[in-house]
Amino acid sequence: MASELKAALLSAYTRLLRPLVRILLRNGVSYPEFAEVAKKVFVTVVIDESPTGDADALAARAAIRTGITRSEALRVLSDGNSPSIESNLNRITRVLTGWHTDTAYTGPYGLPLELRLTQRDQPSFSSLVETYSPGTQPIALLKELIRIGVVKEIEVGRFRVLTRTYLPKTDVPDSLERIGQAVQHLIETVEHNRLEVDPERRLFERTVYADDGICEEDLPRFKSYVRGRSQLLLEDIDNWLSQLEKPSTEKGKRAIQTGIGIYHYVENKSDD
């Protein structure tokens, strides 16, 4: 049974890796570079599960669990964390959400207000950024939002937000961060549900698909239908979340990072 489970797991990972490897190759990442990252993940996951002991003990434990040599595991540990790549994904998403849901920044019928960069005793873009992305320079973020087309200067010093959703362009750090987050969250949800015995403790995860496929000419209509219905649902959920009291450590309330993701897939025949 163990060998059958391992074979099924490796088969599943083969399917999982194909689209990820295509992205790596398109961006000039070689197999040795990927293998080095995979090696580090194997070692760090083992260490995270049982982080006690000195470096030699941790390396020996990682070597036993992963099949990586002890010296290689020790080298990975000594390398430390890789430098993080600066991404605007989270800060832009938080600011756009606040601009569309916070009653301080919305007007009649919930429409987002047009904001000035700074305005004494009035809602402004700077106060919005201070609330939803503290530590970020407002003017720098505003210039970036204008550059990517989600904010427009409608008159000198007054700015209008054009969209609630930020979809980064292909293969920039923000879009690649979305890949990491989306795949990680989906896999963690599926694995949680696979291991959780109590149905009430499982997370919602469903898929609907056409049993026999659909005609190629119907795909654009289906894409439009999915996009419209899903956007309405996500905005409704986003509005609900925005009404909740923000967790505060001063009140002894622990923050739980949670959310929901919806995706539309079209199978790639080369992955069969």
Cβ partners under 8 Å of residue 89, min gap 6: 166, 168, 174, 177, 178, 181
**Is the Cα torsion angle 51, 53, 59, 63 positive or negative in sign?**
negative
Last residue of a domain, one of 55, 79, 103: 79
Q: Distance (Å, rounded) from C-alpha 272 to C-alpha 270?
A: 6
Q: Distance (Å, rounded) from C-alpha 268 to C-alpha 272?
A: 7
Q: Distance (Å, rounded) from C-alpha 153 to C-alpha 162?
A: 10
Token reading at 15: 């399917």
Number of domains in the chain: 3
Clarify whether residues 71 and 153 are in a common domain.
no
Indicate whether 7 belongs to any domain. yes
pLDDT recorded at residue 55: 86
Write out the E strands in 60-174.
115-116, 151-155, 158-161
Clarify whether residues 94 and 70 are in a common domain.
no
pLDDT recorded at residue 223: 95
Clarify whether residues 186 and 155 are in a common domain.
no
Clarify whether residues 266 and 191 are in a common domain.
yes
pLDDT recorded at residue 208: 92
**Over residues 102-112, mean pLDDT:** 90
Condensed to tens digits (0 to 9), the pLDDT of residues 210-234 reads 999 999 999 999 999 999 999 999 9
**Over residues 239-256, mean pLDDT:** 81
Last residue of a domain, one of 79, 99, 119: 79
Confidence tier at 193 by pLDDT (50, 70, 90): very high
Q: How many CB atoms lie within 10 A of CB 114?
A: 15
Token reading at 51: 């982080």
Condensed to tens digits (0 to 9), the pLDDT of residues 4-58 reads 888 998 998 898 899 889 888 887 788 998 999 999 999 999 998 888 888 888 9
Clarify whether residues 74 and 94 are in a common domain.
no
User: Of the given ranges (88-92, 172-176, 243-247), which has the lowest mean pLDDT?
Assistant: 172-176
Indicate whether 128 belongs to any domain. yes
**Is the pLDDT score of 3 beyond 90?**
no
Indicate whether 254 belongs to any domain. yes
**Length, in residues, of the chain:** 272
Percent of the chain with pLDDT over 90: 48
Query: Is the distance from CB of 202 to CB of 192 less than 8 angstroms?
Result: yes
Confidence tier at 255 by pLDDT (50, 70, 90): confident
**Is the pLDDT score of 171 beyond 70?**
no
Q: 115 pairs with which residues across the strands?
A: 159
Query: Is the distance from CB of 156 to CB of 116 less than 8 angstroms?
Result: no
pLDDT recorded at residue 270: 67
Indicate whether 166 belongs to any domain. no
More confident residue, 245 or 143: 143
Indicate whether 167 belongs to any domain. no
Clarify whether residues 154 and 202 are in a common domain.
no
Clarify whether residues 255 and 208 are in a common domain.
yes
**Is the pLDDT score of 175 beyond 80?**
no
**To which H or E segment does residue 185 belong?**
helix 173-195
Clarify whether residues 73 and 105 are in a common domain.
no
Q: Distance (Å, rounded) from C-alpha 49 to C-alpha 18?
A: 28
Indicate whether 84 belongs to any domain. no
Last residue of a domain, one of 18, 46, 79: 79
Query: Is the distance from CB of 44 to CB of 55 less than 8 angstroms?
Result: no
**Is the pLDDT score of 128 beyond 90?**
yes
pLDDT recorded at residue 50: 83
Clarify whether residues 179 and 267 are in a common domain.
yes
Clarify whether residues 267 and 177 are in a common domain.
yes
Query: Is the distance from CB of 54 to CB of 44 less than 8 angstroms?
Result: no
Indicate whether 217 belongs to any domain. yes
Q: Could you give the angle at the alpha carbon of 96 between the alpha carbons of 171 and 161, nearest 5°?
A: 100
| Residue 194 CA neighbour count, 13 Å, CB half | 7
Q: Which domain holds residue 237?
A: 173-271
Clarify whether residues 16 and 47 are in a common domain.
yes
Clarify whether residues 61 and 22 are in a common domain.
yes
Indicate whether 168 belongs to any domain. no
b/e burial code for range 210-224 (CB count within 10 A of at least 16 → b): eeeeeeeeeeeeeee
